Amino acid sequence: MLPDRQEHPIHDMAELPEPQARTISRRGILAGLAAFATIGAPPLTGEAAARPVQPGTRKGRSLAKGVGSSTQDDRSPKVRSLRLVHMHTGEALSLPYRRGNDYDRAALGQLNHFFRDWRTGDVQPIDPGVLDIMWEVQRACRTKRPITILSGFRTIGTNRMLRARRGGAAEHSLHLVGKAIDFTCTDVNVTALARHALSLRRGGVGIYPDNGFVHIDCGPVRTWNG
């Protein structure tokens, strides 16, 4: 039997803003969207290289090796870009992170920081596989808004705190290793987001309709309702 809710119980309610844990803060999303509207895609830096990135990290510093760079225009189908806003920090990010089969080191560094544990500031490389799943969902749902991120990387300390406080965080959550993302989108309902993610059959998909978000990860293929 494939792991589902036993591996990933309803733990992500703990990532929702307090004091109201069952609804996403509209004020937080609107603040993030306002921040997103004020920026363009940040410039990428680094020398050209042709080998894929093998990311690694230490706290607060990305150690990804190799740089993806290309003369292709960002509108090329071979270029993958993400448009994101973080519900808790209000940060916004719009950038291409992959060209062909190569991941851009500078872009991955920015994404690692964006998806950090927002409570502690600790940085962990986000698995490019889960970024690709998010890109596929973003493209399939044809959203005109940035994806709203609730949770990316989570430290062991944060996970223990959430387990002690609310008893819902999975002990071995894939958030701990940068392989899971919780997200929503203001112009696409969660059922449609989950349907697009499920159609990929590339990892786990949890739908939390009462809380208004979807969990994706690059673990085993499985699904559950929260």
Question: What are the helix (H) ranges across the chain?
Answer: 26-37, 105-114, 128-141, 156-166, 190-200
Residue 171: is its pLDDT beyond 90?
Answer: no
Q: Is residue 5 part of a domain?
A: no
How many domains, the chain? 1
- Half-sphere exposure of residue 9: CA atoms within 13 angstroms, side-chain side: 13
Chain CA centroid to CA 19, Å: 23
Asked if residue 4 belongs to a domain, the reply is: no
Q: How confident is the model at residue 77 (pLDDT cuts 50, 70, 90)?
A: low
Q: Which two tokens stand for residue 114?
A: 């964006």
pTM of the model: 0.70
For the cut 60, the answer to whether the pLDDT of residue 19 exceeds it is no
Tell me, yes or no, whether 42 lies in a domain: yes
Q: Is residue 154 part of a domain?
A: yes
Average pLDDT over residues 185-212: 95
Mean pLDDT (the chain, rounded): 75
pLDDT at 39 over 50: no
Asked whether residue 91 is domain-assigned, the answer is: yes
CATH number of the domain residue 155 falls in: 3.30.1380.10
For residue 104, being part of any structural domain is answered with yes
On the question of pLDDT at 204 being above 70, the answer is yes
Q: Could you tell me the residue range of the domain that residue 58 belongs to?
A: 12-16+24-225
Domain assignment of residue 73, yes or no? yes
Q: Is residue 44 pLDDT above 70, yes or no?
A: no
User: What pLDDT is attached to residue 129?
Assistant: 97
